[in-house]
Amino acid sequence: MWTQGQVVARRDWSDKLFTLSIKAEIAPFIAGQFIKLSQGNTDKRIARAYSIVSAPDAELLEVLAVKVPDGQLSPALHQLAIGAEIEVSTKAAGFLTLEELPQAANYRHLWFIATGTGVGPFISMLRTQAPWLKYEKIILVYGVSYYSDLAYQDVIQQLQQQYPQQFVFIPMVTRESKAVEGMAALDCRIPQGLVSGELEALAQVDISPLDSQVMICGNPAMITEVQTMLLERGLTKNLRRAPGQITLEKYW
Ligand SMILES: Cc1cc2nc3c(=O)[nH]c(=O)nc-3n(C[C@H](O)[C@H](O)[C@H](O)COP(=O)(O)OP(=O)(O)OC[C@H]3O[C@@H](n4cnc5c(N)ncnc54)[C@H](O)[C@@H]3O)c2cc1C
Ligand SMILES: NC(=O)c1ccc[n+]([C@@H]2O[C@H](COP(=O)([O-])OP(=O)(O)OC[C@H]3O[C@@H](n4cnc5c(N)ncnc54)[C@H](OP(=O)(O)O)[C@@H]3O)[C@@H](O)[C@H]2O)c1
């Protein structure tokens, strides 16, 4: 089922990365879920999934998207101006949510690992109270190619101020030197940061099957590499029939 939404605000983080704030009547959703956006008529509908970045109680639906060169839908989304209409699926879906994680008290550390627009569902979860009430430490690892691809720095900085002991933010920028913008991002890809031990050193906690839950989102090749490393360390995939420590969502 589709409903007509209207773009009421947009924010451009770079020439290809943007946030749309959409007014649309959809059913209640859980932080971490995605909706579909669509253009075209029923015969020739192009629909794609987008994680919701806003919190479930927010007035507007927010999505973070990147313009994929030669993509079928994202270049059209990138062109949407304020006031433009876009079709939105009325029901959100997806299992990359805190509710899907095992609730046992030993899981004290929550790792959010994202590349690119994969940070979106984690921002939505961080905007709710749930993770802050449950986990002693929350680590957000956010890997991008360029500094300008680091979206939502204002929200992240505010969380760092609000939860200085509980929240660790680790930006990773792969194609620009550390000197740029005076920000201390790691300059390697996420799997390399795991192999070298740099990520855990910065977080001051290890990723362990005993106390960690790890959620991974974004580039599928990154997810496969990270998952393989975690499986080798004894973590298992989190399934409803067999709870584990790794929960993931591949974007393509
Ligand atoms: C569950 C789920 C949630 C998603 N959430 C988001 C989101 O919040 N924001 C978002 O921008 N996209 C998200 N995507 C991807 C999105 O659905 C589209 O695939 C994307 O916008 C490209 O669509 P397109 O029609 O322009 O390109 P297509 O013609 O469908 O081309 C697809 C190709 O684009 C590249 N690609 C697709 N998505 C991305 C991406 N996010 N970052 C980098 N390269 C990409 C890949 O090479 C892929 O093979 C999500 C996908 C899934 C399955
Ligand atoms: N001007 C433009 O329009 C323009 C410019 C650039 C890219 N693009 C396109 O824009 C889209 C979005 O790109 P994006 O940068 O948001 O997402 P992305 O390509 O998934 O890159 C995000 C981060 O993931 C890393 N990464 C990629 N593959 C990985 C792997 N196998 N293991 C671990 N890390 C990995 C990247 O490192 P690396 O930086 O080392 O790859 C980068 O740090 C892509 O389709 C891209 O082709 C467009």
Domains of the chain from N-terminus onward: 2-89 (2.40.30.10), 98-250 (3.40.50.80)
pLDDT at position 179 is 65
Residues with CB under 6 A from ligand 1: 34, 48-51, 63-66, 68, 71-74, 94, 116-117, 120, 249, 251-252
Residue with CA at minimum distance from ligand 1 atom 37: 252
pLDDT tier at 119 (50, 70, 90 boundaries)? very high
pLDDT in tens, 140-172: 999 999 999 999 999 999 999 999 999 999 999
pLDDT in tens, 199-222: 999 999 999 999 999 999 999 999
Atom number of ligand 2 nearest to Cα 191 = 33
Token digits for 248? 């993931």
Residues with CB under 6 A from ligand 2: 16, 66-69, 115-116, 143-145, 149, 174-175, 189-191, 219, 221-222, 225
pLDDT at position 138 is 98
| Cα diameter, the chain | 53
CA distance 47 to 142: 27
SS (H, E, C) 159-220: HHHHCCCCEEEEEEECCCCCCHHHCCCECCCHHHHHHHCHHHHHHCCCCCCCCEEEEEEECH
Distance of CA 90 from the midpoint of ligand 2 (Å): 30
Look at residue 56 and give its three-state secondary structure.
Answer: coil
- The proportion of the chain whose per-residue pLDDT surpasses 70, expressed as a percent, equals 97
Distance of CA 135 from the midpoint of ligand 1 (Å): 30
CA distance 90 to 93: 10
pLDDT tier at 89 (50, 70, 90 boundaries)? very high
pLDDT at 107 over 70: yes
For the chain, what is the mean pLDDT?
Answer: 96
pLDDT in tens, 34-56: 999 999 766 788 999 999 999 99
pLDDT at position 181 is 61
In the β-sheet with 85-89, what is the strand arrangement from edge to edge? 46-51, 34-39, 85-89, 2-12, 17-23, 61-66
181-199 average pLDDT score: 90
CA distance 107 to 99: 14
CA distance 143 to 116: 6
pLDDT at position 182 is 64
